[in-house]
Amino acid sequence: MHYLLIFITFLLTPFLAGGQHTIKKEFLIESSSMLTITGHSNVNTFICQTKNYSACDTLEYKMNEETYAVYLVKNKMTTPVDDFDCGNSLMTKDFLETLDHEKHPLLSIQFLSLQGIENTASSPVFGKVKIHLAGEAKDYSITFTVTHATEGTISLSGTQTLKFSDFKLTPPRKMMGLVQVKEKLEVNFLINLRPL
């Protein structure tokens, strides 16, 4: 009986382990990656974007080859708040002060999930991210468009609306309150990943 159990276990092992086959992939977040923030006031629209992504962060995940389920191992990108440029020195200064850049100099995005990143078709990637800004953190669900380019590179692009109040910030007001920045902001992500 003992030998029969061993024999049965031997036969079933490939089937039992089949769902456990995973592959690991690691990507460098390239300097061409960019965050763009679009805001509106009662006077005009302003656009602030990162000059370049200077960090050497990596994104690493393990994927089940059968279910395509993705488990993120390394999942954070960080950029100095001072890297944002609004195209006008006074506007940039006001924007950085609003984000409390001296006390909280870093903005980070933590990827909690990226469902469908391995799909080579034009289907969307459903992601969840946690944005850390001005000492606060908030989760968002974002639908990314994925582009698989040459040599295994991947580009993720997506848009998310957030509010100053999500991070306990107050929209700036200038000229005795005559210029009022609206509460909502639109953040555009462009994340370029190069395989390592």
Per-residue pLDDT of the chain (196 residues; tens, 9 = 90+): 554 444 444 444 444 444 468 888 899 999 999 999 999 988 889 999 998 787 889 999 888 877 777 888 889 999 999 999 999 888 899 899 999 999 999 999 999 998 888 776 667 888 999 999 999 999 999 999 988 887 888 899 999 999 999 999 998 877 556 678 899 999 999 999 999 8
Q: DSSP characters for 134-191?
A: TTEEEEEEEEEEEEE-GGG-EEEEEEEEEEGGGGT----EETTTTEEEEEEEEEEEEE
- Give the chain's length: 196
Whole-number Å distance between alpha carbons of 113 and 5: 40
Tell me the chain's radius of gyration from C-alpha atoms.
Answer: 22
Give the pLDDT of residue 14. Answer: 44
Give the pLDDT of residue 18. Answer: 45
Helix (H, G, I), strand (E, B) or coil at 51: coil
Give the pLDDT of residue 121. Answer: 65
Instruction: Please tell me the pTM assigned to this model.
Output: 0.82
**Residue in 110, 163, 170 with CA at minimum distance from that of residue 139:** 110
Give the pLDDT of residue 120. Answer: 67
- What are the backbone dihedrals phi and psi of residue 123, each rounded to the nearest 5 degrees, phi first? -70, 150
Give the pLDDT of residue 5. Answer: 43
Give the pLDDT of residue 91. Answer: 86
Give the pLDDT of residue 7. Answer: 43
> Which token pair is 119?
């799909």
Give the pLDDT of residue 150. Answer: 79
Query: Looking up tokens 């462009």, which residue turns up?
Result: 190
Whole-number Å distance between alpha carbons of 181 and 45: 9
